[in-house]
Amino acid sequence: MRRKFSVLIAFVLAATFILGALAMPGLAAAEFKDYGPVVDEIIMPIIKESTALRIAFERGETVVWPGLTQPADIDQAKSLDYADMRMTLGFHMFYLCFNMRKAPYDAPVIRQAMAHITDRDNIIRTLFKGYMLPMTSFVPQASAFYKEDLPTYPFNLARAAEILDEAGYVLDETGRNRIDPKTGKPLPEMKIFTPTYEVAPTSAELGKMIADSAQKVGLPVVPEPMDFNIMLDKIDIHDFDMYVLAWSLSRNPTHLVNFFHSNQDVEAGYNNPGIRDPKLDRVLDLLDTAPELQTARVAADEAQLILAREMPYIPLYSRPYIDAFRKDMVTGYIDMMGYGAASNSNQWTFLNVSRVDESGNPVPGGTIRWALEEEPKNLNPATASSAYEWNVLDRLFDGLYAMHPESLEDMTWMAKDWDVDTWTTDAGSEGTTITWYLHDGLKWSDGMPFTAEDIKFTIDFLKENKVPRYLPNTEDIAKVEVIDELTVKVYFDTVSYWHLYNAALSFLPKHIWDDVEDYNSFEPWLEPHPTMEGFTKLVGHGPFMLKEYRPGEFVRLVKNPNYWRLGPAN
């Protein structure tokens, strides 16, 4: 309860900050129905050009202008009477990274001083007109694993100078540089790599602002804008002092293992700062292999505490999701923490969204137009990898579990329950088992029953074919056992609570995919369905079905009459 309250406080503070910038009324907690969809059809015109997307929104050719990031676009949307601005915390993190493999960045005091000279509020106000959230944690605030009460290093130039002096980094006779106590020589030039002004003007300017601030306390920091790809190459081979970049994180804290475990401190690994802390490694190992949720929470808390002290990164800001909806055309969209109201991961919006009449009252049925910002291109669920493709596919497939839009806690969904347990593998070690208990009456969109056999078929298919996208999910799976038509047990070779999510995939209909010889070249959205006229072999179990896809033009989805959740649960 305390954690939830803290997250709520953090959310309210963050929302207050950005709502001030947006000058919007406060957000009320969203009421959502866990069934639907309300509309009969979604036409998704593909509009890639940002100016055209804005015009399409204003012309009413799309009910949503999603993912607003540019202050000019946000201001424009705000000025429209019919635009309803929605904002939710995101999983984005913009940060400054130190190369802890080399001096002086291996000294904690240097990193702490750099944190003290970083004025997040000024950066956000100056560069983003307030449309960003200051960030001080290594796990996004929207995550249920976010830990509050961590040590922070607020903007304070005097404090930065003071801790440097105390650690022996005293000013030289010019008063513009500090002496490294280990070498007795002035500190070398400290470079911050940033993308160029042409590619990312705000990132480049941000580097300059931090450098200007650091120079005030005698740290010889200079910004060095460079080609983005060259910058990434240099980061890969650890040829840098500091750099600024962004990550898109998720609700689970497993990114901490990738980013900060010493086994990732290799060329092209993801431990870019090169932090090697045995205690942190132990905690991250525990986080990675936690058998149940509580252990994972404890490990995530401990890891965040160590990282807050060690400061391999300075988290700078997080970009919230800001979406504009045509409130004169639709209602019922749901704000979802971490994902936004209009993202493909937000299944609740697509179940609840409805048209409105002239008085703004919901009108069931009918068609809405929802722009796609990019071509979906590949609608093969085994190989589709981009968010643009899943913008469509997520409407066609449902999950075994769902995420609550506010708490982001797991909810039962197609699975009415599940067990996480352990077993002894053939090699005698301990492994995790996940048992899924399916709802009765689940169907594919072509009317065939969705059963435990489909789950086993999918996992076996992906594993046997070594489908790259799903190898991280399937590599630790030892076997799948169908207990009965509605119960399936997945056995993992290793112990980890996160296997729960590895076993919950987008499942493939066995009656369609059984004959597929080459999954790479199979284009289910182009092949006619053997029995359903006017539809294709792209068969799912989500609220919508693919009716038509004209590459470069639009995607047309219609309500799935066989959807298992057309009405409230019994």
Partner 1 sequence: MGFRSYLVKRIWYALLVLVVILTFNFVLFRVMPGDPEKMIIDPNFTVEAKQELRRQYGLDEPILKQYTNYMTSLLKFDMGLSFNTRRPVWSELKERLPNTLILFLATFVSTAAVGISLGVFSAANRGRFNEKFVVGAGLFAHAVPGFFIQLLLLLLLGYYWPILPIHGTMSAPPPDGGFAVLLDRLWHLILPAGSNMILGFGSWALYTRNTMLEALSQDYVTTARAKGLPKGDIMYHHALRSVLPPIVTLVFMSLPGAVSGAVITESIFSWHGVGRYLLDATLQMDYPAAQGAFYLIALSVIISNLLADIAYGLVDPRIRVGAGGPK
Residues that bind partner 1 (CB under 8 A): 43, 45-49, 51-52, 55-56, 58-59, 227-230, 232-233, 236, 258, 268, 270, 369, 375, 377-378, 380, 383-386, 389, 466, 468-469, 471-472, 475, 520-521, 523, 548, 550-554, 556
In the complex, minimum distance from the CB of residue 371 to partner 1, in angstroms, rounded to a whole number:
9
DSSP result, 358-370: TTS-EE-SSEEE-
Checking DSSP bridges between strand 190-195 and strand 221-226, what pairing results, if any?
parallel
In the complex, minimum distance from the CB of residue 524 to partner 1, in angstroms, rounded to a whole number:
12
The tokens describing 351, both together, are 């179940």
In the complex, minimum distance from the CB of residue 394 to partner 1, in angstroms, rounded to a whole number:
17
Buried b (16+ CB within 10 A) or exposed e, 341-355: bbbbbbbbbbbbbbb
Q: Compare residues 182 and 550 and give the one whose CB is closer to partner 1.
A: 550
In the complex, minimum distance from the CB of residue 374 to partner 1, in angstroms, rounded to a whole number:
9
Q: Compare residues 227 and 481 and give the one whose CB is closer to partner 1.
A: 227
Q: Compare residues 305 and 387 and give the one whose CB is closer to partner 1.
A: 387
In the complex, minimum distance from the CB of residue 378 to partner 1, in angstroms, rounded to a whole number:
4
Q: Compare residues 48 and 176 and give the one whose CB is closer to partner 1.
A: 48
Q: Compare residues 185 and 550 and give the one whose CB is closer to partner 1.
A: 550
User: How many C-alpha atoms does 60 have within 13 Å on its Cβ side?
Assistant: 8
| DSSP-H helix ranges across 384-450 | 387-396
Rg of the Cα trace of the chain?
25
The tokens describing 199, both together, are 């590619």
User: Cβ atoms within 10 A of the Cβ of 298, count?
Assistant: 14
261, 352, 469, 559, 563 from 541: Cα distances, Å: 38, 17, 21, 11, 6
Q: Are 338 and 7 in contact (CB under 8 A)?
A: no
Q: Compare residues 136 and 250 and give the one whose CB is closer to partner 1.
A: 250
Please tell me the distance from the alpha carbon of residue 45 to that of residue 40, in angstroms, as a whole number: 16
Q: Compare residues 357 and 533 and give the one whose CB is closer to partner 1.
A: 533
Q: Compare residues 103 and 232 and give the one whose CB is closer to partner 1.
A: 232
160, 185, 301 from 182: Cα distances, Å: 19, 8, 34
In the complex, minimum distance from the CB of residue 303 to partner 1, in angstroms, rounded to a whole number:
17
Checking DSSP bridges between strand 190-195 and strand 242-248, what pairing results, if any?
parallel
105, 189, 276, 353, 494 from 101: Cα distances, Å: 7, 16, 9, 51, 32
Q: Compare residues 221 and 324 and give the one whose CB is closer to partner 1.
A: 324
Q: Compare residues 58 and 180 and give the one whose CB is closer to partner 1.
A: 58
In the complex, minimum distance from the CB of residue 501 to partner 1, in angstroms, rounded to a whole number:
12
In the complex, minimum distance from the CB of residue 145 to partner 1, in angstroms, rounded to a whole number:
17
In three-state form (DSSP H/G/I as H, E/B as E, the rest C), the secondary structure along 251-300 is CCCCHHHHHHCHHHCCCCCCCCCCCCCHHHHHHHHHHHCCCCHHHHHHHH
For 103, phi then psi, to 5°, come to -80, 150
Checking DSSP bridges between strand 487-492 and strand 430-438, what pairing results, if any?
antiparallel
Sheet holding 544-550, edge to edge: 367-369, 41-45, 554-559, 544-550
In the complex, minimum distance from the CB of residue 255 to partner 1, in angstroms, rounded to a whole number:
9
In the complex, minimum distance from the CB of residue 268 to partner 1, in angstroms, rounded to a whole number:
8
In the complex, minimum distance from the CB of residue 375 to partner 1, in angstroms, rounded to a whole number:
8
Q: Compare residues 127 and 503 and give the one whose CB is closer to partner 1.
A: 503
In the complex, minimum distance from the CB of residue 264 to partner 1, in angstroms, rounded to a whole number:
10
Q: Compare residues 179 and 329 and give the one whose CB is closer to partner 1.
A: 329
For 287, phi then psi, to 5°, come to -60, -40
In three-state form (DSSP H/G/I as H, E/B as E, the rest C), the secondary structure along 146-194 is CCCCCCCCCCCHHHHHHHHHHCCCCECCCCCCEECCCCCCECCCEEEEE
In the complex, minimum distance from the CB of residue 273 to partner 1, in angstroms, rounded to a whole number:
15
Nearest to 281 by CA among 300, 303, 298, 255: 303
In the complex, minimum distance from the CB of residue 248 to partner 1, in angstroms, rounded to a whole number:
11
Buried b (16+ CB within 10 A) or exposed e, 368-379: bbbbbbebbebb
The tokens describing 393, both together, are 């596919």
Please tell me the distance from the alpha carbon of residue 374 to that of residue 371, in angstroms, as a whole number: 9
Residues 6+ apart with CB under 8 A from 363: 354, 355, 356, 357
Q: Compare residues 258 and 487 and give the one whose CB is closer to partner 1.
A: 258
